[in-house]
Amino acid sequence: MCEANYFYIRCGKKQIKQFNHADEYFLLIYFSKAKTTYFYFMKFDLTILGSSSATPTNERHPSAQVLNIDDELFLIDCGEGTQMQMRKFKVKFQRINHIFISHLHGDHYLGLAGLLFTYHLLGRTKELHVYANSELQEIIEKQLQVSGTTLIFPLVFHSLPENKPHHLYENKKISISCFPLLHRVPTHGFIFRQKHCERNIIKNKITELNIPVNKIPEIKNGSDFTDAKGKKHSNAELIMEPSPEKVYVYCSDTGYCPKIVPFFKNADILYHEATFMHDMEERANAKQHSTTVHAATIAKKAHVKKLIIGHYSARYDELEPVLKETQNVFSNTEIAEEGKIYSV
Ligand SMILES: [Zn+2]
Ligand SMILES: [Zn+2]
């Protein structure tokens, strides 16, 4: 097998070599010299497009993120300027078929109409699904009506139920649900949960060893394979094990709300707003936003692996103190940086 383009990462005591071969991602784990196991590594990448709270700054845009799951893109919130950010960061936005809007404060949805008009002008024909508070449909339909536009692609609205968790969407790779947050208008967080994948045969082994199609199911079920020359190939050489399931959680905007913790215990990455530093706790509580310490405390209570904070107030030019204050409570914290890709 070609081992070009690899690099090493560490995982406990195990040595892991990760490489990309013919657009397939593998994790190659050496458990011992005698045994090698291949793991299928599904792309699960988060790109931050907007990290600002209500007022944008020169460097920071209103909320928007794209989650890339095996090259299927999901847009989470769509603040003003989202489509320009997608162009800037080379996001293939025609691959978006599902858009999730947390709530109807302008910094989370005012970019949506512009994006819909662009899809229309580019001749999109695929269905587009929007999950949001039910009033968004009325707003968008009014904007289309006054501009005399009949979209040339089907736009399907799904309303988020107030004050309760709800299952929204699933396909064979991902399951997406929402849960209520604590904010001045109905607001939801979203959970993106990778589903358990099947063991899969390494594609180039099929051609390399001339494996007949009818043998593939039994190899997937654990059988070894003997090739035409009588050489036996162990099942571990032929199979990619599914990588561990991954979970990404999005919480913006919300006041401090420990009630949400059970929805996403042990998640891989939690994005949680940290609009204010903790000396502004009173203002945060009044506006139903969170401070650095609030976000970190939620991450700690939920035992998530990593916290990303964002939705910063425009008053903070420097984000280092915001990060430091959060890390004092939850050390594995990163700041949301626009254009940066975070692998879940
Ligand atoms: Zn906001
Ligand atoms: Zn808000």
What is residue 214's DSSP assignment?
Answer: G
Identify the band that residue 298 occupies on the pLDDT scale cut at 50, 70 and 90. very high
Q: What is the pTM of this model?
A: 0.84
Range of the domain at 258: 44-196+245-343
More reliable by pLDDT, 220 or 191: 191
Catalytic member of 23, 45, 77, 107: 107
Crossing angle (nearest 10°) for helices 320-327 and 292-302: 40
Q: Do 19 and 168 share a structural domain?
A: no
Phi first, then psi, for residue 337 (nearest 5°) are -120, 125
Question: Minimum mean pLDDT among 42-56, 92-106, 114-128, 147-161: which range?
Answer: 42-56
How much distance in Å is there from the Cα of 296 to the middle of ligand 2?
A: 19
pLDDT digits (tens, 9 = 90+) for 228-277: 889 999 888 888 877 778 999 999 899 999 999 999 999 999 999 999 99
Residue that terminates a domain, selected from 222, 242, 262: 242
* pLDDT computed for residue 195 by the predictor: 83
Total domains, the chain: 2
Q: What ligand is nearest to the CA atom of residue 311?
A: 1
How much distance in Å is there from the Cα of 105 to the middle of ligand 2?
A: 5
Q: Do 107 and 15 share a structural domain?
A: no
Question: Minimum mean pLDDT among 41-55, 281-295, 299-313: which range?
Answer: 41-55
Residue that terminates a domain, selected from 242, 274, 306: 242
In a domain, 1, yes or no: no
Q: 53: closest CA among 118, 116, 106?
A: 106
* pLDDT computed for residue 101 by the predictor: 98
Cα–Cα distance between 131 and 187 in angstroms, integer? 12
Q: Do 103 and 33 share a structural domain?
A: no
* Whether the predicted pLDDT of 198 surpasses 80: no
CA gyration radius, the chain: 23
Q: Do 326 and 209 share a structural domain?
A: no
pLDDT digits (tens, 9 = 90+) for 117-165: 999 999 999 999 999 999 999 999 999 999 999 999 999 999 999 889 9
* pLDDT computed for residue 65 by the predictor: 98
Q: Do 85 and 63 share a structural domain?
A: yes
Residue with tokens 């229309």: 120
Based on the residue annotation, tell me whether 107 is a catalytic residue of this protein: yes
Q: In what order do the strands lie in the sheet with 64-69?
A: 155-159, 128-132, 96-100, 72-78, 64-69, 44-50, 341-343
